[in-house]
């Protein structure tokens, strides 16, 4: 096994799938010679040729249409949208077209497409680069949305996404690209979509999170342990569809829950998790389910980012309210 960062694990997943399935195509803005602006596709064009890994003109909607057309010719396209903040330009292709391909054709045509895109705050980007817009696509029936939080998960989940016969939006948190390494098998492996992962077991409180917030939640759990609280951290990994079994089992065990998201309170996935918990496990609850989120403003200017983004301290504060209710 090799030590890999998340970006290396992603490149590795793409390499495995390009090798395994001749119908897999990787393309987007600057993904060829340049290997992507974050080097997610580093070396892939050289290894697999310009026919399989290629640059496109600079137009996200065009990339979306290209993706759909290639899928109609039997390919398994894996386009990159350079930053998910640019998703508005390709929204019709994703939510208007790909999401309904199978449905509108009564199952006659599918769209085995994985759209990869970086997102997430904390790295001082210009505007429209860091926004957490996953709620937009997750609210569209027909699209699966995956957000890995570790290199190991990223590789297994990306391979599963590419092999899925329906469209998947695969979101890669910018801050996690190179924040740490872990052991990642060099061979191909899959992690099923729609399955959460208990990243830390506990008995007093369940924290549900995804993306970079998984790591803030783990930090919070460590601090709370010093105060004798046993906190479980569940990484949702797939935010559409949710892994309802794991979520409910955890709440039934701990009786208390906090849901954390980097997105604004009105925008993300947390409200959906809270609703599912209250619909399905109200009698197991000892306290209201609270959320830790960003405030409902537009994504902040870089100099205000550190205060705006939710962090471990915010999570500890909210967790204590729930724990002492």
Task: Give the footprint of other proteins on this chain (CB under 8 A).
Answer: 25, 51, 56-57, 59, 61-62, 64-75, 92-93, 96-97, 102-110, 141-142, 164-166, 194, 241-242, 244-245
Identified catalytic residue from 124, 129, 173, 215:
129
Residue 115 CA, distance from chain mean position? 11
CB of 106 to other proteins, least distance (A): 4
Compute the least distance from the CB of residue 56 to other proteins, in Å.
7
176 vs 191 by CB, closer to other proteins: 191
Which CB atom, from 140 or from 217, has the smaller least distance to other proteins? 140
Closest approach, Cβ 88 to other proteins, in A, equals 12
CA distances from residue 194 to 130, 164, 165, 243 in whole angstroms, order as listed: 25, 12, 14, 5
Backbone dihedral angles phi then psi of residue 68, each to the nearest 5 degrees: -65, -45
Contact 150, 4 (CB under 8 A): no
> How would you classify the pairing of strands 182-184 and 2-4?
antiparallel
Q: What is the DSSP string of 89-140?
A: GGHIIIIIIGGGHHHHTTTS-----EEEEEE-SSS-PPTTSS---HHHHHTS
Identity of the residue, 106 or 303, whose beta carbon is nearer to other proteins in the bound complex = 106
| Cβ proximity to other proteins, 133 vs 145, nearer residue | 145
Angle, vertex CA 163, rays to CA 250 and CA 153, nearest 5: 40
Active site residue 129: yes
DSSP-assigned beta bridge partners for residue 25: 77
Least Å distance between CB 273 and other proteins?
13
Residue 198's nearest CA partner among 251, 274, 158 is: 251
Q: Tell me the C-alpha distance between 92 and 300, whole Å.
A: 26
Nearest residue (CB) to other proteins, 93 versus 264: 93
Sign of the dihedral defined by the CA atoms of residues 20, 25, 27, 31, in that order: positive
- The least distance separating other proteins from the CB of residue 60, rounded to whole angstroms, comes to 9
CB of 12 to other proteins, least distance (A): 24
Q: Which is nearer to other proteins, 8 or 56 (CB)?
A: 56
DSSP string, 206-265: EEEE-TTHHHHHHHHHHHHHHTT--EEEEE-SEEES--HHHHHHHHHHHS-EEEEEEEET
The residues carrying an active-site annotation are: 129
């Amino acid at each position: 096994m090799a030590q890999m960062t998340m970006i290396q694990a992603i490149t590795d997943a793409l390499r495995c799938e390009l090798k395994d399935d001749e119908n897999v195509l990787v393309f987007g803005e600057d993904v060829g010679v340049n290997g992507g602006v974050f080097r997610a596709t580093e070396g892939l064009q050289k290894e697999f040729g310009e026919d399989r890994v290629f640059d496109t003109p600079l137009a996200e909607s065009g990339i979306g249409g290209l993706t759909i057309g290639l899928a109609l010719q039997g390919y398994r396209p894996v386009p990159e949208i350079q930053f998910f903040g640019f998703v508005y330009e390709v929204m019709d292709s994703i939510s208007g077209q790909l999401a309904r391909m199978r449905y509108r054709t009564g199952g006659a045509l599918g769209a085995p497409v994985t759209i990869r895109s970086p997102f997430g705050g904390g790295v001082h980007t210009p505007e429209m680069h860091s926004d957490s817009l996953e709620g937009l696509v997750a609210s569209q029936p027909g699209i699966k949305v995956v957000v890995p939080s570790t290199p190991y998960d990223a590789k297994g989940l990306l391979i599963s996404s590419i092999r899925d016969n329906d469209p998947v939006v695969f979101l890669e948190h910018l801050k996690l690209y190179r924040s740490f390494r872990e052991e990642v098998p060099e061979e191909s492996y899959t992690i099923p979509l729609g399955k959460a992962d208990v990243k830390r077991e506990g008995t007093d409180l369940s924290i549900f999170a995804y993306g970079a917030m998984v790591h803030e939640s783990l930090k919070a759990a460590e601090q709370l342990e010093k105060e004798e609280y046993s906190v479980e951290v569940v990484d949702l990994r797939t935010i559409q569809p949710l892994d309802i079994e794991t979520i409910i089992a955890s709440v039934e065990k701990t009786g208390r829950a906090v849901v954390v998201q980097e997105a604004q309170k009105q925008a993300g996935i947390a409200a959906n998790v809270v609703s599912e918990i209250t619909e399905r496990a109200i009698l197991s609850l000892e306290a209201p389910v609270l959320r830790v989120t960003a405030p409902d403003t537009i994504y902040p200017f870089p100099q205000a980012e550190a205060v705006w983004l939710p962090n471990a301290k915010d999570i500890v504060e909210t967790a204590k309210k729930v724990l002492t209710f």
